Structure formats: C-alpha cells, structure tokens
Amino acid sequence: MNKELDKIIKHIKDMNGNSSDINVRYFNIHKEKVAFMFLESVANDDKISNFLGKSLSISVRSKKNLFENLFDSINNTIPNSKVKIIDNYDDIFYHLASGFTCVFVDGYNKAITLETKALLDRSVTEATSEPVLKGPKDCFIENILANMGLIRKRIKDPNLYFEETKVGRRTKTKVVIGYIKDIADEEKVNLLKKKLEKINIDGIIDSNYIKELLTDNQKSFLPRVISTERPDLTAMGLLDGKIAIIVENTPYVLLLPTVFADFFNSTEDYYTKPFNASFTRILRYIAFFIAILVPPFYIAVTTFNMEIVPSSLLISFSIQRESVPFPTIIEVLILVISYEILREADTRKPQIMGASISIVGALILGEAAVSAGVISPIVVIVISISAVSGMGFNDPDITNAIRIWRILFMLAACLFGIVGIVILFIIFITKLNSIEVLGTPYLAPLSPFSLKDFKNSLTRFPQQKIKTRPTYFNKKNINRIGSDK
C-alpha cells in the first residue's frame, strides 16, 4: 500500500470504478491529513458519526499526545469493539463491502478498520417451512452472527467451537463450521475442512452450493445433508455429534453427517410424549414405502400377477378397466404427471397455505376424468394415496426423490411385474448402502446393525432410556445420562 493518502483513496476508487456509494471524508488533525471511507450502501451513518466523530474530535481536542504518532492514537481511542489493522487493498475492499469504515492517515501504509454495519436483515421470526406445534418457534435469519448466537445461547459449553473460512473467489462468503470438540469426530472435522478448502468456485450464494460441492462424488437422488432453518434441530444435532455449517446470507444451516433415518425425525418428536412420537415415526416410514411402492404394486398386480387379488376385487377392477382406452401404465403416468404439474404450480404461488386447495382440485379433476372415461376410479385412489403419503416430510428433497423412484419402480413393474419390482428394490437398497457421508454409512443403524441405536431412530424411547449418543457418529463421550466418560 502507498503511503500517501490521496494515492490510496484514488486507488480504491479506481478499483471500484468510482461507484456511487463510496463516501470519503477528510479531516485535519494537528496538521496531519486523516480520511475515512465507507460504502454508503452497507454502512450505518449513525454509527460512523457516533464512533468516529467522537473519537476524532477527542483526538482533535486533546492537546497532549499520549502516543507517538497519530496513527496509534487514533487506533487506541476509537470506542468501537471491532478494530483491525489492514495493509493490502483486497482486504480493504473486503472490509469496505462488509460494512466496515476505513481510516487512513497520511504517511502510513496501513489502515484502521472498524465495524459499522447497517442492519439489512429481518429480525428473528417464526419458521415458515418447518412448522412445529409445541416447541420453540424461532428460526435462523440471513445474518451469520445472529445464527451463531441462536446456537450459542442453547449450548453454553466452552467446547462448542466455531471455525471460520471464506469460500468463493468473488463473493468471499463467510462459512463457519461449528462442532462440539469432545463429542464430534476429529477425522470428520478435518475431512470437512479439507473439502471446503478445495472448493474453487466464483460465488456461493446459498448453502445449497456448498451442499452440492461437498457431495458431488456420489450421485444419488436421495438427500445426503440436512438443511434446516431451526436452531433447536441444529443444537440437537450438535449434541449428537454432528457438524454444523453456517453460511452467510442464508438462513439454511447444513448438518453433516446424516443418515437416512434423520430425514424421518422431526423436532416435534421430542416435544410430545414418547409413545406418540414412536407411533408417528413408524407411520412416516410406512408412508415412505407406500408412496414409492403402491402405484407400481397396482400396475404389477393388475397386469402380471393377478392371482394376488381376491376374486371379487379382481372382477370389480376388470369392470373399471373396460371403460378405459389406454394401457395401465399410460393411465398411471398421465395421473402422476398431472399431479406433479399441479404440485409445481402450487408451490410457485406466493401463499403456502394453498396446498390443500390443490389436492382438492386434483381430486375433482380426477372425478371429471373418470366420468369422461379417460381413467378409472381406482387409479385416482392409488395415486392420491401415494401422493399424500409422499408429502409428510419436512424436507422437500425427500419428496423429490420419492417421485423419481416412484416412476422408476413403475417402469420396472410394467416390464416384469413383481419380479421387476423386487430386482429394482435390490438395486435401490444397494444404492442406498453404497452412500457414505463423511465416512458414516447411510443406512445406519440398520445396516451395520446395532440394536441400541434403534431407541432413537425407529422409535423414540423416553429420555431416561436413551443413554448413549448414536454410535455411528462417534465413539467417544458416549453417555448422555450420567457423567461423561
């Protein structure tokens, strides 16, 4: 950096093409030129006048210099909590864009920066995409410090480490990794840090970019990373041994490593009675398999393996099939595609409460189509059951994965019946088993079978009985109840 003030300021203005939001103010203190610069769009005017004005006026007024030079004296008298000294242009611009104010003194090639950020985010409000009946309702916002605060106030352990990096060449987004030091696995944390360092992309807009870049070596339709808006879910995950990734400017926090069973748990389970929670969890698993397997099973049973259906039901099915001109697979595909179009159209509407209207609309559409003789009534019922079962999850990634697997199973069923479904099921299970997120097998606790972890995954036992953390995440500090081992 140059030593002369004018050259510094000219350089910075040229770097930014003389943007309209750069503001510079010049001072004269004891005949030395001092200037401070800030970007009006991100810096808060009041704070600047509060801090800088006061400190510089103090410097002006005091006759005695306690320090040798003006630079140090300004540095030591600014009543602001975050003050840094920077000596290269890239860092200066980074801090300017983050809302800091830079103070330059003529003749020194360093600059003092202090934080004066304007509040451009919303305040902590109720969660919109993961609603909960009984439990805390606050959710993350776009401010990374506020997010860290929401976690920190829930876990007051000194072992909760937050480590920060910057990712993205142009956006230079702050990414913070949070974990509890003596619960989370060291290897996983180091692996994650190495992966983050390897990311070489120009911009990170949302945490989903990081999600993709971390897991792009294994292709799978099912999600492998939880992204949540709720701080209580994050805190529970951290206590279990997971690692949280908080990204600036997005309210979605990533939790790694995840297993398949995590997508079927919701925080609601911990805020109600354990028996109800177990019942609901088992219901969710059944709903997942119903959503994937019922339309293919219907196709297989009515075209290849009719001996599964009792006689009276079979006769009633065949009566309904009489009035339809298409083969079964085309019928089912028509309904599935129209349902997906309806669902997509519904989510783009600005109001999220419109989901129920769409389902009713689909049913009425089904009724009209049945009367016109295009599809048979039983297919409407089958697709409605499958669609409604597929919507009971709080992560839209699972719903999207369900619809792809459902279509694949339908194709397998229409080619070979039950045998086709079985073979594709074998391929499905193998695919799930080959996924490993940061070294944790995806189908734990089912696949490396451990009976004690079932207490918190398939069912939820009372809190007194869940004595250990999940063994597939970590091996140290296993005990939850009683003292740490």
Partner 1 sequence: MKKLLIIPLIFLLTGCWNYRELNQLAITTGIAVDKENDNYKITIMIANSKKSSSSDGSITPSAAVYDGTGQTIYEAFKDTSLSVSKQIYLSHIDVLVLSEEVAKNNLTDVIDFLFRYPQTRNNFYLVLAKDKKASDILKVTTPLETFPSQNLAKNLEITDKLQGFTYTVDFTDFTKSLVSEGINPILPSVTIIGNSEEGNKEENVQQNEPSTYLKLDILGLFKKDKFVAWANSNQSKGINIINNKIYILGVIIDYQNEKIVTEITEMKTDFKVENNKVKITIGATGAIQEVNSNVDLYNLKTIEEIQNSDVEKIKEYVNDAINLAKDNKTDIFGFGNYVYKNNPKKWNEIKDKWGDEIFPSLEVEIEVNLKLQAKGSINNIVEVRE
Partner 2 sequence: MKVTNSEYACLSSFLIRSLFFGPAIYSILHFALQDGWISIIVSFILSFIPLIIYYKLLNCNPNDNIVSLNNKLGLIGKIINTILTAFVIFHASLILWNLTNFIYSQFLFQTPLIVIAIIISFGIFYISIKNLTTIARTGTVFFIISTILYFIAALSLIGKCDLNGLKPIFNSGIMPILKGSFSSLGLNIFPLFIILIIPKNNIKNNNKIISSFFKVYIFRYLCMLSVLVICVAILGIELTNLYQYPEYHILKTINIANFFQRVESVLSVQWIFDAVMSIALCLYYVKESITKTFNLKNKFNLINIISIISILIIANYIFTSNTVAETFYKNIYPFLTSIFFLIIPLIILIIVKVKKT
Q: Looking at beta carbons only, is 54 or 431 nearer to partner 1?
A: 431
Q: Minimum CB separation from partner 2 for residue 428, in Å?
A: 10
Q: Minimum CB separation from partner 1 for residue 412, in Å?
A: 10
Q: Minimum CB separation from partner 1 for residue 288, in Å?
A: 24
Is residue 7 exposed (0-12), middle (13-18) or buried (19+ Cβ within 10 Å)? Answer: exposed
Give the one residue of 275, 448, 463, 476 binding partner 2; rule: CB under 8 A.
448
How many residues of this chain bind partner 1 (CB under 8 A)? Answer: 28
Which range, of 73-81, 272-280, 339-347, 412-420, touches partner 1 by CB under 8 A?
Answer: 412-420
Which range, of 123-131, 173-181, 244-252, 411-419, touches partner 1 by CB under 8 A?
Answer: 411-419
Give the one residue of 31, 307, 353, 482 binding partner 1; rule: CB under 8 A.
307
Closest CA to 37 of 119, 107, 116: 116
Give the one residue of 357, 429, 452, 465 binding partner 2; rule: CB under 8 A.
429
Site residues for partner 2, window 269-328 (CB under 8 A)?
A: 304-305, 307-310
Give the DSSP H or E segment for 102. strand 100-105
Beta strands in 173-304 (DSSP E): 173-180, 226-228, 243-247, 253-256
Share of the chain residues as helix, strand and coil, in percent rounded to the nearest 5: 50, 15, 35
d(CA 78, CA 120): 24
Q: Is 178 in the site for partner 2 (CB under 8 A)?
A: no
Cα distance from N-terminal residue to C-terminal residue, the chain = 54
**SS3 assignment, position 100:** strand
Which range, of 88-96, 238-246, 326-334, 420-428, touches partner 2 by CB under 8 A?
Answer: 420-428
CB burial string 115-125: b at 16+ within 10 A, e below: bbbeeeeeebe
Q: Looking at beta carbons only, is 330 or 429 nearer to partner 2?
A: 429
Q: Minimum CB separation from partner 2 for residue 408, in Å?
A: 13
Which range, of 5-13, 86-94, 372-380, 454-462, touches partner 1 by CB under 8 A?
Answer: 372-380
Q: Looking at beta carbons only, is 190 or 220 nearer to partner 1?
A: 220
d(CA 96, CA 93): 5
Q: Looking at beta carbons only, is 264 or 304 nearer to partner 2?
A: 304
Which range, of 259-267, 358-366, 399-407, 412-420, touches partner 2 by CB under 8 A?
Answer: 412-420
Q: Minimum CB separation from partner 1 for residue 388, in Å?
A: 22
d(CA 473, CA 79): 45
Q: Looking at beta carbons only, is 361 or 377 nearer to partner 1?
A: 377
CA dihedral of residues 252, 253, 255, 256 (deg, nearest 10): 100
Site residues for partner 1, window 308-337 (CB under 8 A)?
A: 311, 314-323, 327-328
Find the DSSP H helices in 2-143: 5-15, 45-48, 54-61, 70-77, 89-97
d(CA 178, CA 170): 24
Q: Is 420 in the site for partner 2 (CB under 8 A)?
A: yes
**SS3 assignment, position 228:** strand
**SS3 assignment, position 160:** strand
Q: Is 417 in the site for partner 2 (CB under 8 A)?
A: yes
Q: Is 372 in the site for partner 1 (CB under 8 A)?
A: yes
Contact 77, 58 (CB under 8 A): yes
Bridge-based pairing of strands 32-39 and 226-228 is unpaired
Which range, of 148-156, 158-166, 207-215, 428-436, touches partner 2 by CB under 8 A?
Answer: 428-436
Give the one residue of 415, 432, 458, 478 binding partner 1; rule: CB under 8 A.
415
Q: Minimum CB separation from partner 2 for residue 480, in Å?
A: 24
Q: Minimum CB separation from partner 1 for residue 313, in Å?
A: 10
Residue 319 interacts, among partner 2, partner 1, none and using kind-specific CB cut-offs from 5 to 8 Å, with: partner 1
Peptide bond connecting 445 to the previous residue in cis, omega within 30 degrees of 0? yes
- How many helices (H) and strands (E) the chain has is answered by 16, 12
Which range, of 188-196, 329-337, 441-449, 461-469, touches partner 2 by CB under 8 A?
Answer: 441-449
Tokens of 346: 């519904």
Contact 244, 237 (CB under 8 A): yes
Q: Looking at beta carbons only, is 2 or 434 nearer to partner 2?
A: 434
Under 8 Å CB-to-CB from 459, ≥6 apart: which residues? 277, 278, 281, 282
d(CA 433, CA 436): 8
Give the DSSP H or E segment for 167. strand 160-167
Q: Is 256 in the site for partner 2 (CB under 8 A)?
A: no
Residue 28 interacts, among partner 1, partner 2, none and using kind-specific CB cut-offs from 5 to 8 Å, with: none
d(CA 364, CA 153): 49
Give the one residue of 26, 449, 462, 463 binding partner 2; rule: CB under 8 A.
449
Tally of residues, the chain? 485
Site residues for partner 2, window 215-234 (CB under 8 A)?
A: none
Using CB under 8 A as the criterion, which residues of the chain lie in contact with partner 2 when the complex forms? 304-305, 307-310, 415-420, 422-424, 426-427, 429-430, 433-434, 441, 443, 446-449
- Point out which residues bind partner 1 (CB under 8 A): 302-304, 306-307, 311, 314-323, 327-328, 370-373, 376-377, 414-417
